[in-house]
Each structure stands twice: as structure tokens, then as C-alpha cells.
Amino acid sequence: MILLRLAIASLLARWITVGLTIFAIALSVALFLGVEKVRTGARASFADTISNTDLIVGARSGGVQLLLYSVFRIGNATNNITWETYQDLSSRPEIAWMVPISLGDSHRGFRVMGTTDAYFERYKFRGGQALSFARGDKFDDLFDTVLGADVAAQLGYDLGDPIVVAHGLASFTEHKDKPFRVSGILEKTGTPVDRTVIVSLEGIEAIHVDWSGGGRSGPPVSADEVRQMELEPKAVTAIMLGVTSRLKVFTLQRAINEYAEEPLLAILPGVALQELWEIVGVAETALVGVSAMVVTTALLGMAAMIFASLNERRREMAILRASGAGPGVIASLLMLEAVLLTAAGVVAGVVLLYAGLWIARPYIDAAYGLYLPIAGLTTREVLVLAGVLGASVIVSLVPAMRAYKISIADGMTVRT
Amino acid sequence: MPAAEPSDAVLSLSDLQFSWHGKAAFRLEVPALDIRRAERVVLLGESGSGKSTLLSLICGILSPARGRILIAGTDLGTLHGSARDRLRAEQIGVIFQQFNLLPFATPLDNIVLPLQFSRNRRRKVDDPVAEALRLTEALGLPETLITGARAAELSVGQQQRVAVARALIGQPALIVADEPTSALDASAQLAFLDLLFSQAAAAGSSLIMVTHDDRLSDRFDRVLRLADIAQVSREAAA
């Protein structure tokens, strides 16, 4: 125990260099764990974007593309699904429910999505959590709209405010003649729903009744007139659906993919999310790699610090040798020092991580919709920390071997 | 040469030869040297006369090319690295000229340090802390200084007395002192020697002290001149 006490006393006597070294290790460990937490948090939040939906159906394109535009509101559909196909599918017995969505318009940078009432019950996120209203309720009138939390917060909307939908995604032509009214505002979800303006499918149809392609066609139809019209949609962009039994998912998927009347694509959201993550995951691997390098750098810095201290500590080694310590004891004393330093760095790094998480979490949640749970260290993280300690032993071999040689050469007298 | 029974000799050198092939080649030969139990010997020699080398040989830090070194009956030549370190820990207490102590540790930790490496010396001490305090009290050092301060905060004279306590704890057979008084002023030297002698006698330890200063030599049992017992030769590197 006296050797441990001596190692600690020796470290304390050099507290500035030792403190800086511990700080460097702590920062690197906190960075590594932070990357790990953000990575797993992002992955979980990503996978949580949609749940309890068995299939997403769209016009035939790529699975990732369909997932991106239907769930993440990124990119565009190449084609729509006709209303006839929608009705044909809805008659299939294995389908328990279907929610159509219609995309293409925008409001001040946010996507407008037309759908049915069922969307609010069927869309689930974060392991089956349902949407809930912060204020107001679902749409009641043809020109009612429900806003995602970010839309309302960023544009400062409240219940009853009027909203004019723009035609297309980055367009100056607006459906000014048919403004919508905010009927409800959703709670924050951390999903793309937060950035969506939701209207009824009929509402989408109503504002396009006198439009064709990119511009107006025919005589204008007023908002009051349109209420009297039959507003059955001609097409939808995508369909979310659930099956009556999970066993039927694959046969239904195949049936939709081989649908003869129209080229369709059905995807399993989980599989498509996985594919998408594999693309995004390259950055993930790079981040882990970079933070591992930072930890390695900090450990090498520690070895350099110990190495540099050897010359001024030759007296210390001579005293230990005179007291009966062999060169092996001196080498192991230096390794003990390295392990103590690293252990202090690891502990400080973990404290730093949780302090950082606690401070940054509300900001990250608000800014990126990324919810980072403050949970204990995972087994993987504990193993990584043990690995860091192990690496410190290996790295400390360099100064330890040097000290071994010095203490043999010097013996009890310090040659300079 | 005064005859000493091997069993009675704490230190016995015979036919010793050591060569150093560094930048400056160096050779030291000691035909015979014996130190008896509880004997106090002073070894006089100028600096550069091979004193340090001889002490390192006695302590088992250096290995001779030829000859025998017996420490309390054990032949150093038959031992290897770590066993020589252990023998030094068991049998020898070392006092340097100065800078004897680990500056960052307490004097107490410095004193009990040899016990860490020697099972026999630890066994002779029931309570290391109490023994360290008994020694330092006998050496005239206040207890608060020993347990509270860091060694670096002590004066040179105090540090030398702490070094005596460290050399003596657990009663090793031999105390090797390398100019232990030269960092002290003249008035303190005699007092220091008195303390060293009385405590070494109490512990039953022999003392071999190396110095270039012959003013203190009349207080020792035996005075040896390094030039008489050893031949040193130096030559420039080939």
C-alpha cells in the first residue's frame, strides 16, 4: 500500500502537469462516450420515427426514396398512386387499416401533408407512442389544419390563425383564395411530424380544384363553391397500412409489388430504416474512429509526460533502489502511476459526460429533435473504458522500460 | 589483516576486481576487507578514488568481474538481480550525502519504505509507525514534523536524521553511509555522528562510513584509507 501512497504523493507533487494530463484524458473519454451516446441516441431516434406501420406503399421507385419522402419529408415522389388503386387495395381482406398521404405543397418552408383523420390514431412513433394535441383538436372543417410543434413554434401560430398554402415546394404561387385555419397544434415528437402542416385529403383536393399541373386552369372556384363539390381525390402520394396478421405482411408486400394495373412499391419501414441507416452509418463509423484516435492521442500524451519526467526523477529512483527496490519495482511504480492517471481521467471523463448531457440535452432535443436519455453506462461503454485502462498499461510500458534501464545504469548514484 | 571469523563478519570482501568499460575505462581491485558485527569503520578517500563504486559493489548494485562479496554470510556472487536487491533490502541501510528522501512523501513514509522490500526487517518491527517515531524521537525530531510535513520541507540536518532512521529501521546488519556529514556544518557533524553511533549500537548494526574528511576519524573503531586497501587504475578509452 505504501507504493500506491507514494505514487499518489508523487503525482500530487506534480499536480499541474498531472492535472493537465488527466484533463486531456477526461476530455477524450467524454468525447468518446458523448459520440457513443449521440450515435446510439440518433440511431434509436431514427428507428423510432415510425412504428406500428406494417407497410408503406408508393409508386415504384427505391425503398429508401419512398421512406425518405413519405416519413422524413425529404425529396419527392416520382409518381402518385391513383385513387382507383387505393380503393382496390382497401378492399383486400388482409388489410386492417390504411392511411393515405398526399404531399407536394408547402407553407413557408414546411411541407404540407394531406391525410385523413385516421392518421392521428395510426401514426405511431418511439415504440408505439401516439400523437397528442398540445392545443386544439383534429380537423373539423374542410379548411382546418393541424400544425406540428416546430411549425407552430417557429412561425408563432396559435389556434384560429389563418394559413395560406403555397403550390409546390419552393413556389411563389399561393392558394390565396382558400386559406386554412389552425384547428390544432401537436405536442413535440422529435420526428418529422413536428415540421409538417397537416390538412385533410379533401382540403388538398379543394385548393387544387381549379388547378392543373403548375398553374391555374379554367375559371376560379371560390372557397364557398368548393364546399358544394364532390372532393374525391384523384391520387395520393403514399399509403401507410397495417395488416390483420403479421404473417400476411410478406404475401401482401409481394402482391402489391406485383400489382398489375400500376407499378407500385411496398416497403417494410423497419427494413428500409435499416437500409437508410447503413448509408448514414458511414459517418457514424468515422465519428467513432476519430474519437478513438483522440483517446489514443491523450494516452500518448500521458506517456510522453511520464517519459519527460524521468530525467528529473532519477534521484527518486536512486533512493528507491537504495531502499531495496529492484528496477522492476521502479518500472511497475511508473505503470501504476499511468494507470492511476488514466483512471482519474476516465472517472473525470464520465462525470464530464453526464454533466454535459444534463446541460445540453434540452438544447439538443429542441434543436435537432434528438432525445438523449441519461442512462447508465452500457456494457459496451464500460468495456471501452476498461480498454482505455488496458491501453494505458501498454502505453506506459515505454517510460517504464526506460526507467528500468535508467535505474540499472544509475544504481544508487545519479550520474548526470 | 585483522582476522575475522566468517561467522562474525558482517561484510567480507576477498580478491575483488571490478572493471568499467565506459568512456573512461576504470578498474578497482580490493584484495581483502572485513567488517565485524557492530564494528564502526571509516573509509577515507578523495573524491574519484572509487568510493562510490566500492559502495555500489557492497550493496549489490554493481557486480564484480572477479572475487567474493559476503554480506552476513551470503555470497552476493551467487545471487541474481532481484535476489541481490532483496539482500540489500534485508541487510543494508543506506545513507547518502544529501537528498536522501523522496521529497513529495512524508518523512514517515520515507522511513518505513525499506520494510516494503524486506520481509525480515518488517518482522523485527511490530508497529512500523511506532518504531519510526521511536527512532526519530531518539534522533531528536518532533513527531509533528515526521507525520505532518513533506520531506522536502525539512532542513538538511533534519533530512539526514530521517535518513538515519530509515537506514536503521528493522535493524539491518550493515549501515553504509556515503559522506553523510558533509552537507552539515561543522558543529552539527559531531552531534550527528553521536546520534548515528548510538542508534547503530542500539540496533546492533555495523557501520561503514566513507568520507574524504579525516577530522572525524578518531571516533571510529577502525580507520581505513582506500588507497591502502584498494588499487584503482584509470585509462583513457581505447
pLDDT in tens, B121-169: 999 988 999 999 999 998 889 888 898 888 989 999 899 999 999 999 9
Q: What average pLDDT score do residues A1-26 get?
A: 91
In this predicted structure, the answer to whether residue B5 has a pLDDT above a threshold of 60 is: no
Q: Is B167 on the interface with A (CB under 8 A)?
A: no
Q: With a CB-CB cutoff of 8 Å, which residues 103-142 of chain B face chain A?
A: 103-106, 109, 112-114, 116-118
Is the CB of A326 less than 8 angstroms away from the CB of B166?
no
Q: With a CB-CB cutoff of 8 Å, which residues 319-378 of chain A face chain B?
A: 319-329
Instruction: Calculate what percentage of chain A has a pLDDT beyond 70.
Output: 97
Is the CB of B105 less than 8 angstroms away from the CB of A9?
yes
In this predicted structure, the answer to whether residue B3 has a pLDDT above a threshold of 70 is: no
Q: What average pLDDT score do residues B112-118 get?
A: 91
Q: How far apart, in Å, are the Cα atoms of B164 and each of B98, B107, B111, B172, B177?
A: 12, 11, 9, 12, 9
Q: What average pLDDT score do residues A212-228 get?
A: 75
Nearest to A151 by CA among A111, A179, A205: A111
Would you state the cell numbers that stand for residue A195, as one nine-digit string?
Answer: 415540421
Q: Is B62 on the interface with A (CB under 8 A)?
A: yes
DSSP code of residue B104: T
Q: What is the dihedral of CA A186, A190, A191, A193, to 10 degrees?
A: 20
Give me the amino acid identity at A314: R
Is the CB of A412 less than 8 angstroms away from the CB of B62?
no
Would you state the cell numbers that stand for residue B201, as one nine-digit string?
Answer: 549500537
- Confidence at residue A334, expressed as pLDDT on a 0 to 100 scale: 92
- Confidence at residue A263, expressed as pLDDT on a 0 to 100 scale: 94
User: Which pLDDT band, with edges at 50, 70 and 90, does A306 fall under?
Assistant: very high
* Other Cβ atoms within 10 Å of B15 Cβ, number: 12
3-class secondary-structure state, position B222: strand
Q: With a CB-CB cutoff of 8 Å, which residues 69-88 of chain B face chain A?
A: 81-82, 85-86, 88
Q: Is B47 on the interface with A (CB under 8 A)?
A: no
Is the CB of A5 less than 8 angstroms away from the CB of B90?
no
Is the CB of B59 less than 8 angstroms away from the CB of A9?
no
Query: Does the predicted model carry a pTM greater than 0.80?
Result: no
What is the chain B residue with the closest CA to A324?
B89
User: Which pLDDT band, with edges at 50, 70 and 90, does A398 fall under?
Assistant: very high
Q: What average pLDDT score do residues B10-25 get?
A: 83
- Confidence at residue B2, expressed as pLDDT on a 0 to 100 scale: 47
3-class secondary-structure state, position A55: strand
**b/e for A41-69, b at 16 or more Cβ within 10 A?**
bbeebbbbbbbebbbbbbbebebbbbbbb
Is the CB of B104 less than 8 angstroms away from the CB of A12?
yes
Q: Measured between beta carbons, which residues in chain B are less than 8 angstroms from residue A333? A: none
In this predicted structure, the answer to whether residue A256 has a pLDDT above a threshold of 90 is: yes
* Interface mutation vs chain A, best among B54, B87, B88, B179, most A CBs within 10 Å: B88
The average confidence (pLDDT) of chain A is 89
A413 vs B52, B112, B113: nearest CB: B52
Q: Measured between beta carbons, which residues in chain B are less than 8 angstroms from residue A320? A: 102, 113
Q: What digits encode the pLDDT tens for the residues A26-81?
A: 999 999 999 988 888 888 878 888 888 999 999 998 899 999 999 988 888 889 99
| Contact assessment for residue B129 and residue A345, using Cβ atoms and an 8 Å cutoff | no
In this predicted structure, the answer to whether residue A183 has a pLDDT above a threshold of 60 is: yes
In this predicted structure, the answer to whether residue A171 has a pLDDT above a threshold of 90 is: no
- Confidence at residue B95, expressed as pLDDT on a 0 to 100 scale: 92
Q: What average pLDDT score do residues A127-131 get?
A: 87
In this predicted structure, the answer to whether residue B47 has a pLDDT above a threshold of 90 is: no
Question: In DSSP terms, which residues pair with A181 in a beta bridge?
Answer: A144, A162
Question: In DSSP terms, which residues pair with B17 in a beta bridge?
Answer: B29, B66
Is the CB of A326 less than 8 angstroms away from the CB of B85?
yes
User: Which pLDDT band, with edges at 50, 70 and 90, does B212 fall under?
Assistant: confident
Nearest to A115 by CA among A193, A63, A181: A193
CA angle A75-A81-A82, nearest 5°? 145
Q: What digits encode the pLDDT tens for the residues B127-137?
A: 999 999 999 99
Chain B nearest-CA distance from A10, in A, is: 6
Chain B nearest-CA distance from A416, in A, is: 14
| Phi (first) and psi of residue B4, to 5 degrees | -130, 125
Q: How far apart are CA B22 and CA B15, in angstroms?
A: 23
Is the CB of B114 less than 8 angstroms away from the CB of A323?
yes
User: Which pLDDT band, with edges at 50, 70 and 90, does B39 fall under?
Assistant: very high
Q: What average pLDDT score do residues A218-239 get?
A: 84
- Give the count of Cβ contacts less than 8 A between chain A and B: 79
- Confidence at residue A188, expressed as pLDDT on a 0 to 100 scale: 87
- Confidence at residue B228, expressed as pLDDT on a 0 to 100 scale: 86
Q: Measured between beta carbons, which residues in chain A are less than 8 angstroms from residue B117? A: 323-325, 329
| Contact assessment for residue A137 and residue A175, using Cβ atoms and an 8 Å cutoff | no
- Confidence at residue A214, expressed as pLDDT on a 0 to 100 scale: 62
- Confidence at residue A215, expressed as pLDDT on a 0 to 100 scale: 67
* Interface mutation vs chain B, best among A337, A412, A414, A416, most B CBs within 10 Å: A412
Q: With a CB-CB cutoff of 8 Å, which residues 16-45 of chain B face chain A?
A: none
3-class secondary-structure state, position B40: strand
- Confidence at residue A168, expressed as pLDDT on a 0 to 100 scale: 76
Is the CB of A322 less than 8 angstroms away from the CB of B109?
no
* Interface mutation vs chain A, best among B76, B96, B150, B164, most A CBs within 10 Å: B96
Q: Measured between beta carbons, which residues in chain A are less than 8 angstroms from residue B114? A: 323-324
Nearest to B16 by CA among B48, B54, B73: B54
| Contact assessment for residue A330 and residue A321, using Cβ atoms and an 8 Å cutoff | yes
Alpha helices in A135-268 (DSSP H): 149-155, 201-207, 223-227, 249-257
Residue whose entry in the numeric block shows the C-alpha cell 575475522: B4
Nearest to A161 by CA among A107, A235, A115: A107
Q: Measured between beta carbons, which residues in chain A are less than 8 angstroms from residue B90? A: 324
Is the CB of A5 less than 8 angstroms away from the CB of B100?
no
Q: Measured between beta carbons, which residues in chain A are less than 8 angstroms from residue B62? A: 411
Predicted ipTM of the assembly: 0.88
What is the chain A residue with the closest CA to B108?
A2
Would you state the cell numbers that stand for residue A11, as one nine-digit string?
Answer: 503525482
B118 vs A12, A319, A324: nearest CB: A324
Q: What average pLDDT score do residues A339-360 get?
A: 95
